[in-house]
Amino acid sequence: MRALILLVFFVGCGAAPAPRVSTEGDDARLLDRLAAAPPPADWAMVGKTPLDFATYHPQGLLRVGDRWLLTTVEIRRPPAADDPGEGVGHLIAFDDAGHELARVTLGEGKAFHPGGFDLDGEALLVPVAEYRPDSATIVYRVDPQTLAATVAFRVADHIGAIAVDRLDGTVYGMSWGSRRIY
């Protein structure tokens, strides 16, 4: 049986905006805030929900309104040194009971690996990259209710996660292995 385990993690950052990472000295402040965060032992299971659909290899999870949204990659042929592999990227909407509400396939060609995603206030920004570092990414803009998707932009790197600053709307991306933050 598949189950989604929901975790709650509280970081006492107050109402201050999230720190910005740069090579100009802000890294020290970010490291100080991370060091002050509670240890992983402070995570606590708050629920367990059986899911009635295949989850493959989950990447991102977000709650929007009364539904959950999950990105996951279905690997059909694993990548190798000389082969980008083959797979299908999914964005799945489901309810609190674990029932699939809707699904959309995202990606094209060698780009089939969806990542962590976020809501920009109106739409989801979902990265779908090739399954290897230093590759390419398509970022989709997806309606969280209908799952209608359009290409927002492309990036000449593997973007594994996107976050949106709710205060100023800045979109951040993180590359494979957190090698680069955009």
pLDDT digits (tens, 9 = 90+) for 34-63: 778 777 666 788 889 999 999 999 999 999
Q: Are residues 98 and 169 in the same domain?
A: yes
Q: Are residues 44 and 86 in the same domain?
A: no
Domain hosting 62: range is: 52-178
* Domain count along the chain: 2
Distances 14 to 21, 22, 29, 178 between C-alpha atoms, Å = 19, 22, 15, 25
Q: Are residues 80 and 26 in the same domain?
A: no
C-alpha span between 180 and 135 (Å, rounded): 13
Give the predicted TM-score (pTM) of the model: 0.78
Q: Are residues 79 and 108 in the same domain?
A: yes
What percentage of the chain carries pLDDT values higher than 90? 69
Identify the CATH number of the domain in which residue 66 sits. 2.130.10.10
Which of 164, 43, 147, 149 is closest to 94 using CA atoms?
147
Q: Which has the higher per-residue pLDDT, 55 or 13?
A: 55
Q: 72 pLDDT exceeds 60?
A: yes
Q: 30 pLDDT exceeds 70?
A: no
Q: Are residues 80 and 24 in the same domain?
A: no
Q: Are residues 45 and 5 in the same domain?
A: yes
Q: Are residues 26 and 72 in the same domain?
A: no
- Last residue of one domain, picked from the residues 36, 51, 66: 51
pLDDT interval class at 4 (50, 70, 90): very low
